[in-house]
Structure 1
Amino acid sequence: MTRIPLRYLTVLILLVFIVLSTLLAYRFGLNAAANHVETSESRHLEALAQRLRDHAQDMVEWGERARLQQTLQSMSEGRDINLAVILDAQGHILAGLDAQYVGAPWGALTPHRLNPAHYTDLSVATWLGDTDRVGKVFTSESRNTLLALFPITLASAASGVDTQPPSGGVILIQLDLMPAKAAARDNVRELVLQFMGFLVLLATLGLFFFHWTVIKRVERLAQATRQFAEGDLNTRSGVTGGDELADLGRTFDQMVTRIAESQQTLRERDQRLLRAQRTARIGTWEMHLPEQSFFWSDEISRLLGVAPTEGHFNYESFMARIHPDDLEAARQSDRKAMEEGIAGELDYRIMAADGNLRHVHEQTQVIRRPDGQIRAVIGTVQDITERKRAEEAIFNAKERAQVTLDSIGDAVMTTDADGRVDYLNPAAEALTGWPLMEACGKRPDEMFQLINETSGATVRTPLHACLREGRSVGLANHMVMITRDGRTRAVEDSAAPIRDRQGTTIGAVLVFHDVTQPRQLARKLSWQATHDPLTGLFNRFEFERRLQVALKQAREINAHHALLYMDLDQFKVVNDTCGHVAGDELLKQLAFTLLAKIRDSDMLARLGGDEFGVLLENCPRDKALEIADHLRQTVRQFRFVWQGRVFEVGISIGAVMLESTAEDMNAVLSAADMACFAAKERGRDRIHVYHPNDQELIQRHGEMEAVSRINQALADQRFRLYVQPIIPVASQKHPPHQEILLRMLDEDGRVIMPGAFIPAAERFGLMPAVDRWVVHHFFSQFAHILKEDPRNESTSEGTVYAINLSGASLNDEQLPGFVIQQLERYQIPASRICFEITETAAIANLNRAGLFMNQLRQRGCRFALDDFGTGLSSFTYLKQLPVDYLKIDGSLVKDIARDPIDRSMVDAIARIGRVMGLYTIAEFVEDDAVLATLAELGVDFAQGYGIARPAPLSMATPFNGPPRQRSAPTSSHRPSLNGMAQSRLPNTEV
Structure 2
Amino acid sequence: MSNAPPLVRLVDDDAAASRSLEAAPNALIPISAAAGDKENQDALRNSEALFRAISDASPLGIFVSDAHGVCVYSNAAYHKISGRSFAQTLGTNWNSAIHPEDRQRALAAWHAAARAQVPFHSEVRFLREDGGVVWMRLNAAPLSVGGMAQVQTVEDISVRKSLEFVLRAAEEALFEEKERAQVTLNSIGDAVLSTDILGKVSYLNRVAEAMTGWSREEALGRPLAEVFTIIDGTTRQAAANPAQRAIEEDRSVGLIADCVLVRRDGVESAIEDSAAPIHNRYGQVTGAVIVFHDVSQSRAMTLKMAHLAQHDVLTGLPNRLLMTERLSLAIGLAQRHGRQVALLFLDMDRFKHINDSLGHVVGDELLQSVAGRLVACVRATDTVCRHGGDEFVILLADIDKPQDAAHVAEKLHLASALPHLVGGHELHVSLSIGISIYPDDGSDANTLMGNADTAMYHAKASGRNTYRFFRADMNARAVRRLLVEGRLRRALKEDEFVLHYQPQIDLVSGAMTGAEALIRWRDPELGLVYPGEFITIAEECGLIVPIGRWVLREACRQVQAWRDAGLPAVPVAVNISAVEFRQRDLLDGVALILKETGLASRYLELELTESVLMDHAESSVAVLEALKAMGVSLAIDDFGTGYSSLSYLKRFPIGTLKIDQSFVRDIATDADDATIVSAVIGMGRNLKQRVIAVGVETPAQLAFLRTHQCDEGQGFELSYPLSAHDFTRLLLGGNDLQPWSRPASRDQGPGSPCAH
Give the greater-gyration-radius structure (CA).
1
Q: Using structure 2 for the length normalisation, give the TM-score.
A: 0.50
Q: Using structure 1 for the length normalisation, give the TM-score.
A: 0.40
